[in-house]
Homo-oligomer: A and B are copies of this chain.
Amino acid sequence: MTSKTASKQDSKTALIQAGIQLMQERGYTATGVQDVLSLLNMPKGSFYHHFDSKEQFAVEIIRHFDQEQTAVIKQSLDNTELTALARLRHHCEAIKQRILAQECRKGCLVGNLSQEMADQSEVLRKELAEVTGRWCDVIAQCIREGQKSGEIRNRSSADALAEVFWEGLNGAIMRAKTIKRIEPLDTFIKVMFDDFLKP
């Protein structure tokens, strides 16, 4: 990579990261292209050099956020030193720590954009559906392993449990954001691991 290409790539990454920051706080509609540029002190041209539109920008934001989050999820769920159930719990505890560090603000970018944009943009909706589907699959794989070893109940399929698990976790993140307290995450973890998932 030449230094010119590197710098082009840097400015694109900087735009995406600023976009994540602003959209996570304000949502899609309330984040203007100009807000992103002002944050970085960049001229308008640099945005349209990298992105055709704000919608295309949001697609790349979702993909970038997906890469970051998939790495975080895998860090918990691929840790073979722990059992499947312990890994799943570790993942929830990591999310709880992130929400605490954010002072219960922001929530999950993908959850926020799903609520706001799924009816407004078919392009973003498809992207969000794909990303969340993949996250559920990773959780289902871990649950399947726990069901095989007998530490997770198997009255429901791993895919069904993963879906309800992921949706419940997202609901808890949303409620923590609404009441500005971490208790919903604590309650979710307690009920899931001390009750619902137990054989």
Q: Which of A115, A156, A190 gathers most chain B CB within 10 Å? A: A115
A81 interface residue (CB < 8 Å to B): no
Q: Does A18 contact B (CB under 8 A)?
A: no
Residues of chain B within 8 A (CB-CB) of A155 are 194-195
| A39 contacts partner chain B, Cβ-Cβ < 8 Å | no
Whether A120 sits at the interface, judged by CB under 8 Å, is yes
From B168, B179, B187, contact of A160 by CB (8 A): B187
Instruction: Tell me the A141-199 residues at the B interface (CB within 8 Å).
Output: 153, 155-156, 160-161, 163-164, 166-172, 174-175, 177-180, 184, 187-188, 190-192, 194-196
Q: Is A89 an interface residue (CB 8 A)?
A: no
Could you tell me the distance between the alpha carbons of A67 and B156 in the complex, rounded to whole angstroms? 36
Copies of the chain in the assembly: 2
How many chain A residues sit at the interface, stated as a range, is: 35 or more
Instruction: Let me know if A29 is at the binding interface, CB within 8 A.
Output: yes
Cβ A187 vs Cβ B164 within 8 A = yes
A193 to chain B, nearest CB (A): 11
Instruction: Please determine whether A190 and B128 come into contact, CB atoms closer than 8 angstroms.
Output: no
> B27–A156 contact, CB under 8 A?
no
Stretch from A47-55, A69-77, A91-99, A104-112 forming part of the interface with B = A104-112
- Enumerate 15 A-B pairs (CB-CB under 8 Å) in ascending A order: A25-B119, A29-B30, A106-B119, A112-B116, A114-B174, A114-B177, A129-B180, A132-B175, A156-B195, A160-B187, A164-B188, A164-B196, A167-B175, A171-B171, A196-B196
Please give the residue numbers on chain A whose beta carbons come within 8 Å of chain B beta carbons, in ascending order: 25-27, 29-30, 105-107, 111-112, 114-116, 118-120, 125, 128-129, 132-133, 153, 155-156, 160-161, 163-164, 166-172, 174-175, 177-180, 184, 187-188, 190-192, 194-196
5 cross-chain pairs, A with B, having the tightest CB-CB distances, nearest first:
A167-B171, A168-B168, A171-B171, A115-B115, A29-B29
